[in-house]
Structure 1
Amino acid sequence: MPRGKTFPKLLLLCSSLLACLLPCTCYCKAKEKDGADVKGMFVFGSSLVDNGNNNFVQNSVAKADYSPYGIDFPLGPSGRFTNGKNVIDLLSDRLKLPALIPAFFDPSTNGSRIMHGIDYASGGSGILDKTGSFAGHVISMNQQIESFKTVTLPELEAQLGCGSRESLPHYLFVVGAGGNDYTLNYFLARTPISLQLFTANLTTALSSQLQTLYHLGGRKFVLMSVYPLGCSPMATAIRPIGNGCIRALNFAALLFNFHMKKLVDTIKPKMPGADLVYVNAYRIVQDIIQNPVSKGFSDASNACCEVVSRVEGGSGILCKRGGWACANRNDHVFFDGLHPTEAVNHVIANKAYASDDPDEVYPINVKQLAQI
């Protein structure tokens, strides 16, 4: 779904020349504050990292552009699938980036707004093109990468006044995808292959996508693991009360996460000079769910907002439009039937950025990656 931008060659040439005459914009090799060599982030994935792209995607039911979403976000409902900031916003804060990462499909995302990165993520999408078709029109990972390649790179070169291969090593490439490939594809469509084979194919597809971004110039990658899918209110709602998480969903998430973590090491020979960080969001969220009180939470099983149930024709995931939301949002792990609250996103972002526990971030944390 192209944004319909065109860039005359003359305009690109003039913009590039002008940028190089201005020291404030021609900083491809300059370092940011505190020695961090990161100018921004390019984000790919699904609803957990979507900053509002689906607001502009027609015929998609995976939207969060209405109340009570955004009840604690400064701008109100923005398309983020939570009550406030998501993990991308909070990582941006930790990296001291000057502004929140804008959504690619927002018409105002152009010019100087792209200089600190863009978010391409689309709620309901997956690593595989087929994933998300059950949610109407969504933007797959391959389409997201194509938008980055064909639209963003020429514009970024014009803004920075230097080639993309010069500038992109100074950006983080964050990927948060994979969960929908199970919940909205493998299990929903009852795919007639083994879970192990499906996961192997999914990992191969992700590896190919990472290598594509690498060949376009990316050098610093952050891979967010799949959350404990079987412990979400959406999943547990279909089981008798007291039976706990759905093991099949959690096993699938763990299997994929195992392969993703291995990929951090096995893909290195194919991406010389690149550095990858694996963020074990599964472990971080599961630890909160199993020990909520010690982590500052009191409700690890119920959605904070009123969701549209399956009986009402929903999926048990999204909040009702204009519905109620709990008053004690910082006490809840889940805001809707699947997505965490801002309070949980804070925990994930803080651990991704600064944890020294290899079971939470591997082999280094995001702060260390930013300073390479």
Structure 2
Amino acid sequence: MDSLIKLFFSLSLFLSTSLLFGEINGVDGSNQNHHLYGFRPTKLFVFGDSYADTGNIKKSLASSWKFPYGITFPGKPAGRFSDGRVATDFLAKFVGIKSPIPYFWKDYAGKKRLQYGMNFAYGGTGVFNTHNPLPNMTTQIDIFHNLLTAGDIYSPSDLISSVALVSVAGNDYSNFISQNRSASEFPAFIKQVVDQTVVNLRRLHALGIKKIAVPSLQPLGCLPRITFASSFQSCNESQNLLVNLHNNLLQQAVAKLNNETKQSTFIILDLYSAFLTVFKNKGASPGSTRFESPLKPCCVGVSSEYSCGSVDEKGVKKYMICDDPKSAFFWDGLHPTEEGWRAVYSVLRQSLAASLIKA
């Protein structure tokens, strides 16, 4: 991810002349006269990455199982890439259900706990292969499909009142950069990522899920790993130009999907605008929290070779934590704090109420 600065700068001139799309300003990307009136979700199925993972990734593979992750909730590391709750938890709360159990823990959950759906997201994954042996989104949907086919936990009839969260937070792009591929290939690769996301959305709809929420890509140029170069004072706008390309292609694709289904089945959660709204918030709504330094993370390594949760061979901590995680929007170099996610979903609340839940 650190090499994004150089790559995105080299592409900024290309994008400034070829980005001819408008900003994302709709929630469902389609004519909003079409809605599922009377729809009230009772199950949430989740697919994606670390912005949505609530405990699937193995302890040996991720920092999310190391202290100080989880210190706000549940009070210890539990697999969430934050000090507490993440996007999945806040979406579940919004629709009025408990956060769905991670797939990895399904055999330890009672039947009552499984009634709220299931989380198949794994931190570090993308729509394509990123980190083996982690399951990409296609494999995650395969697992879900197999559960439906087996019928032991869920059947197609259970999906009548279901909603899905499909999180794509940028791991495909980090993986692209790590392969040292030509910068000129990047715009075409963005289209490939969006096209594969559309394949995934179509597949979930075909399986019977009634509402599917897909977040826009957050402003990658504002992540602390990038804003470190400006002492956490400013975002890298060259990177955000590429993010806008992804998001505008996604909006076009979602509008097309909704025109095909004749209903607002597919919903864009506009994380890009929500993040920026929270960053600019001076204490008034929207956004429940004012963050004094929103681009500065709470948990950081003591030097560039260390990250949040790192310890040396003697077990000595090689990271620092801010005094109050609630005062920070970002927890580490990539992920929001629980309070950060709370503020984002405060911004999204109105659009969610208009598109996701119908009385």
Question: Are positions 1:236 and 2:223 aligned together?
Answer: no
Cα distance in 2, alignment partners of residues 344 and 114 from structure 1: 28
Give the SS at the match of 2:81: coil
Aligned partner of 2:25 in structure 1 is: none
C-alpha deviation, 1:240, in angstroms: 5.1
Question: Are positions 1:299 and 2:293 aligned together?
Answer: yes
C-alpha deviation, 1:368, in angstroms: 3.8
Structure 1 residue identity aligned to 2:168: A
Question: Are positions 1:100 and 2:99 aligned together?
Answer: yes
- Is the 1:44–1:121 contact (alpha carbons within 8 Å) kept by the matching residues of 2? yes
C-alpha deviation, 1:171, in angstroms: 0.8
Specify whether residues 305 and 149 from structure 1 end up closer, same or farther in structure 2 by C-alpha distance, changes over 3 A only: same
Q: How does 1:213-224 map to 2 (within 5 A)?
A: 213-224=204-215
Give a deviation string over 1:305-324, Cα, whole Å, max 9, x none: 133754x2x5x5x4435644
Aligned partner of 1:32 in structure 2 is: none
Cα distance in 2, alignment partners of residues 53 and 215 from structure 1: 25
Structure 1 residue identity aligned to 2:45: F
Specify whether residues 368 and 268 from structure 1 end up closer, same or farther in structure 2 by C-alpha distance, changes over 3 A only: closer
Cα distance in 1, alignment partners of residues 186 and 158 from structure 2: 39
Aligned partner of 2:236 in structure 1 is: 246
2:323 aligned residue (321, 327, 337): 327
Aligned partner of 1:88 in structure 2 is: 88
Give the SS at the match of 2:253: helix
Cα distance in 2, alignment partners of residues 66 and 121 from structure 1: 19
Structure 1: gaps (5+ residues): 1-34, 356-360
Aligned partner of 1:196 in structure 2 is: 187
Give the SS at the match of 2:122: coil
Specify whether residues 91 and 243 from structure 1 end up closer, same or farther in structure 2 by C-alpha distance, changes over 3 A only: closer
Aligned partner of 1:18 in structure 2 is: none
Specify whether residues 252 and 188 from structure 1 end up closer, same or farther in structure 2 by C-alpha distance, changes over 3 A only: farther
Aligned partner of 2:41 in structure 1 is: 38
1:52 aligned residue (55, 64, 81): 55
Question: Are positions 1:255 and 2:240 aligned together?
Answer: no
Give the SS at the match of 1:301: coil
Give the SS at the match of 2:160: helix
Give the SS at the match of 1:172: strand
Q: How does 1:145-160 map to 2 (within 5 A)?
A: 145-150=141-146, 152-154=147-149, 157-159=151-153
Cα distance in 2, alignment partners of residues 65 and 270 from structure 1: 42
Give the SS at the match of 1:260: helix
Aligned residues: 310
Specify whether residues 242 and 77 from structure 1 end up closer, same or farther in structure 2 by C-alpha distance, changes over 3 A only: closer
Aligned partner of 1:285 in structure 2 is: 275
Cα distance in 1, alignment partners of residues 128 and 325 from structure 2: 33
Question: Are positions 1:227 and 2:214 aligned together?
Answer: no
Structure 2 residue identity aligned to 1:253: V
Give a deviation string over 1:230-262, Cα, whole Å, max 9, x none: 11111123x354773223322222211111122
Give the SS at the match of 2:104: coil
C-alpha deviation, 1:54, in angstroms: 0.7
Give the SS at the match of 1:245: coil
C-alpha deviation, 1:196, in angstroms: 2.0
C-alpha deviation, 1:303, in angstroms: 1.4
Give the SS at the match of 1:338: coil
Cα distance in 1, alignment partners of residues 211 and 116 from structure 2: 15
C-alpha deviation, 1:147, in angstroms: 0.8
Structure-1-length-normalised TM-score: 0.76
Give the SS at the match of 1:105: helix
Aligned partner of 1:72 in structure 2 is: 72
Structure 2 residue identity aligned to 1:256: H
Q: Tell me how large the CA RMSD over aligned residues is.
A: 2.5
Question: Are positions 1:179 and 2:178 aligned together?
Answer: no
Specify whether residues 195 and 68 from structure 1 end up closer, same or farther in structure 2 by C-alpha distance, changes over 3 A only: same
Specify whether residues 188 and 369 from structure 1 end up closer, same or farther in structure 2 by C-alpha distance, changes over 3 A only: same
Specify whether residues 153 and 367 from structure 1 end up closer, same or farther in structure 2 by C-alpha distance, changes over 3 A only: farther
Cα distance in 2, alignment partners of residues 92 and 145 from structure 1: 19
Cα distance in 2, alignment partners of residues 227 and 278 from structure 1: 12
Structure 2: gaps (5+ residues): 1-37, 312-316
Aligned partner of 1:143 in structure 2 is: 139
- Is the 1:306–1:320 contact (alpha carbons within 8 Å) kept by the matching residues of 2? no
Question: Are positions 1:371 and 2:358 aligned together?
Answer: yes
Give a deviation string over 1:162-200, Cα, whole Å, max 9, x none: x40x32131111111141111x22222233353221111
- Is the 2:39–2:161 contact (alpha carbons within 8 Å) kept by the matching residues of 1? no
Cα distance in 1, alignment partners of residues 44 and 57 from structure 2: 19
Aligned partner of 1:12 in structure 2 is: none
Cα distance in 2, alignment partners of residues 219 and 246 from structure 1: 37
Structure 1 residue identity aligned to 2:340: V
